[in-house]
Structure 1
Amino acid sequence: MREDNHEKRMFYKFIFLLVVTGLIVIVCIWKWTADDPKEQDPEEMFGKTEQQEDIKEPTGLDEAKINDVLIDEEDKNSEAQETNTNDASQQNEQTENNQEEADLEQTYINQYGKQEVGQAKEQVEKVLALYLLQVTDWDKWEGAVTANYLENVQKEMTNFKDEKAKRELDTIDLFVSQPLKDGEIMYGAYATWHVTVKGKSTSKPMQLYYITLQKEGDKWIVSNMVTPNNQNMEGEGKE
């Protein structure tokens, strides 16, 4: 009787294990069939991983743009440095020119005296103004220029004077220049003026002149006046 009970218990355990195993198998099959096959595809999952990595790449630093920025900064620094160098060079050159002018003017003063140098400078301004304004009242020229130079100016005024145009002098900036001969004084002058016709401004010329003076009696008078381009005294002018 005890043996029969033992066999029944073993039989029930066996049945129980079969049932449990069957349930596990059924659950696994159901789980497998219920899930999205696409999510279980290893190749697709691998492809998604690569795509995500590709998307992340652009978020990194763009080396080309960085290089462009660095090059631009280098160019700007180079241009700034070049500008500073040019400014310093121009400033040094201007300082040297000013010093040369001061030394040359002092040489004139040492040779001829301060009063005579001042009178020569006034003569330069007067003659240049008479010329630029095309003054044909020749009495105003006498005592300011040599006879030979006055004759040349009279011929030139006759050839180039425009009765319809009116001139007004703007500025005359003088600077001392090295004379071509001993016993002479030379000044350079930047002159600007404007020309009007019937009340309307037509041009605003600007010209550089070199004026030579020689002493006649107790005064310095203008003996010659030229432009660097060796053209007539009208110069080229600027509109």
Structure 2
Amino acid sequence: MREENPDKRMFYKLIFLMVVSLLIVIVYIWKWTTDDPKKQEPEEMFQKTEQQENMNEPDDLDRDKINDVLTDDEDKNTEAQETDTKEERKPNEHVENNQEEIDLEQKYINQYSEQEVEQAKEQAEKVLALYLLQVTDWSKWNGAVTLSYLEKVKKEMTKYEDEKTKRELEAIELFASQPVKGGEITYGAFATWHVTVKGKSTSKPMQLYYIALQKEGDNWVVSDMITPNNQNMEGEGKGEK
């Protein structure tokens, strides 16, 4: 049997290899186009990263809202602190006033003695009670007020004489006050009393008085008594007609 030409055999092999290689290339291209995801360009990747960052960050509107909320919270906290401060200030002012009265009382005691200060307080309360109750039995005023102040009271009492009008004293609260003149003791007093006309209560005045006392012999006597706004005996303009 005659053997085939070797060159021809090599030519067939080369054709076969070329066909196989071409098939492999075709298969690879087909898989690459159908299965592989689309390759991203660097610009696209950068844009996506930037979008993600923007999504994580709040926009300007959200930032404004947050600032508004924080500002409101700060304002509310400030208002609450101011309110608390005001509420705390009220009792503190009362304590400070009480302390000032105690200090003045002690100053009087150090200057004159506790016994004399007590006698002055009793005299101040007695004279204010006589004044408010419109006592015209002048013997009860003797030794409790100076002669000049007694004359002043007599003139004033005649303006309010009325047998149908009565006064009932409820309370007198004394507190030490700054003296107007040297050598004097001054007490403030909150007084409350009832005014009745023909048995019917017409008013319940409350008035602040300042009572000045000076020394006469061994006793303290009232030398003057005033109200801050010079109102009449009934206080707050509630005097009977």
TM-score range, shorter chain: 0.5 to 0.7
Aligned residues: 169
CA contact (8 A) 1:206 1:238 kept: no
Measure how far apart 1:196 and its partner are: 1.1
Cα 1:172–1:237 change in 2 (3 A) is farther
Task: Give the alignment of 1:1-239 within 5 angstroms.
Answer: 82-236=82-236
CA drift at 1:81: 5.2
1:35-54 CA-partner distances (Å, limit 9, x unpaired): xxxxxxxxxxxxxxxxxxxx
Quote the Cα distance in structure 1 between the aligned partners of 2:162 and 2:77: 53
User: Residue in 2 aligned with 1:15?
Assistant: none
Asked if structure 2 preserves the Cα contact closer than 8 Å seen for 1:188 and 1:209, the reply is yes
Q: CA deviation at 1:235?
A: 2.9
TM-score of the aligned structures, taking structure 2 as reference length = 0.64
1:7-48 CA-to-partner distances (Å, cap 9, x unmatched) read xxxxxxxxxxxxxxxxxxxxxxxxxxxxxxxxxxxxxxxxxx
Tell me: CA distance 1:230–1:198, structure 2 relative to 1, closer, same or farther (3 Å). closer
Aligned alpha-carbon RMSD (Å): 2.4
User: C-alpha displacement at 1:159, in angstroms?
Assistant: 1.2
Counterpart amino acid of 2:181?
A: K
Moved more, 127-136 or 224-233: 224-233
CA contact (8 A) 1:167 1:195 kept: yes
Contact 1:172 1:190 in 2 (8 A): yes
CA contact (8 A) 1:149 1:223 kept: yes
Give the whole-Å Cα distance in 2 for the aligned partners of 1:189 and 1:174. 4
Q: CA deviation at 1:171?
A: 0.8
After TM superposition, give the deviation of residue 137 of structure 1 in Å.
0.5
CA separation in 2, counterparts of 1:174 and 1:74? 46
User: Does the CA-based 8 Å contact 1:133-1:169 persist in structure 2?
Assistant: yes
Structure 2 distance, partners of 1:193, 1:77, is: 46
1:222 Cα shift? 0.2
Gaps of 5+ in 1: 1-70
Query: What 5-or-longer segments of structure 2 have no aligned partner?
Result: 1-71
- Distance in 1, Cα, partners of 2:199 & 2:81: 48
Q: In structure 2, how many angstroms separate the alpha carbons of the residues matched to 1:196 and 1:117?
A: 34
> Judging changes above 3 Å, is the alpha-carbon distance between structure 1 residues 223 and 229 closer, same or farther for their aligned structure 2 residues?
same
Secondary structure at the aligned position of 2:235 is classed as coil
Q: Whole-Å Cα distance in 2 between the matches of residues 77 and 237 of structure 1? A: 44
Change (3 A) 1:125 1:78: same
Matched residue SS, 1:231 = coil
Give every structure 1 segment of 4 or more consecutive aligned residues whose post-TM-superposition deviation is greater than 6 Å.
73-80
Q: TM-score, normalised by structure 1?
A: 0.65
Partner of 2:49: none
Q: Distance in 2 between matches of 1:229 and 1:235?
A: 10
